[in-house]
C-alpha cells in the first residue's frame, strides 16, 4: 500500500495519502518514474501533510511538485513532519 506520493525526483518532501504513525517505515511512490521509496516517520504525519525525504537546515529550500514551496525555519530531519512549524513561504 502506498502511504505517500512524491511528484518529481527533485522533490524533498512527499505527501501522505493516509495517516502515517511515528516509527513506521512508510512506503511511497515517485509519480514521475513509478519507482518506490521508503521513509521512516519520526513523527505522526497526518493525511495530506508532508514527510521530509532528506535533512534540511534553516534557510534551505523545500521542493514539492518540482517547485520551491518555502524556506526551512527549523531544522528538518529525514522522516520529519514538514508543516508551518518548520517551513515558511518566501512570499513575505
Nearest Cα residue to 2 out of 43, 47, 44, 42: 47
Q: Distance of alpha carbon 37 from its chain centroid, rounded? A: 12
Q: In what side-by-side order are the strands of the sheet with 81-82? A: 36-40, 25-30, 4-6, 13-16, 50-52, 81-82
The model's pTM is: 0.94
**CATH code at 4-88:** 2.30.130.110
- H-run or E-run covering 26: strand 25-30
Q: Cell numbers for 54, please give them.
A: 532528506
**pLDDT at residue 90, as a whole number:** 87
Over its length of 92 residues, how does the chain's per-residue pLDDT go in tens digits?
Answer: 999 999 999 999 999 999 999 999 999 999 999 999 999 999 999 999 999 999 999 999 999 999 999 999 999 999 999 999 999 998 86
User: Domain extents for the chain?
Assistant: 4-88
Amino acid at each position: 500500500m502506498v502511504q505517500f506520493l512524491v511528484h518529481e525526483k527533485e522533490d524533498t518532501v512527499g505527501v501522505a495519502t493516509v495517516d502515517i504513525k511515528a516509527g513506521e517505515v512508510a512506503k511511497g511512490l515517485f509519480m514521475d518514474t513509478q519507482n518506490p521509496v521508503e521513509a521512516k516517520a519520526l513523527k505522526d504525519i497526518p493525511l495530506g501533510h508532508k514527510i521530509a525525504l532528506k535533512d534540511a537546515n534553516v534557510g534551505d529550500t523545500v521542493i514539492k511538485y518540482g517547485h520551491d514551496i518555502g524556506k526551512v525555519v527549523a531544522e528538518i530531519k529525514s522522516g520529519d513532519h514538514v508543516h508551518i512549524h518548520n517551513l515558511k513561504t518566501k512570499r513575505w
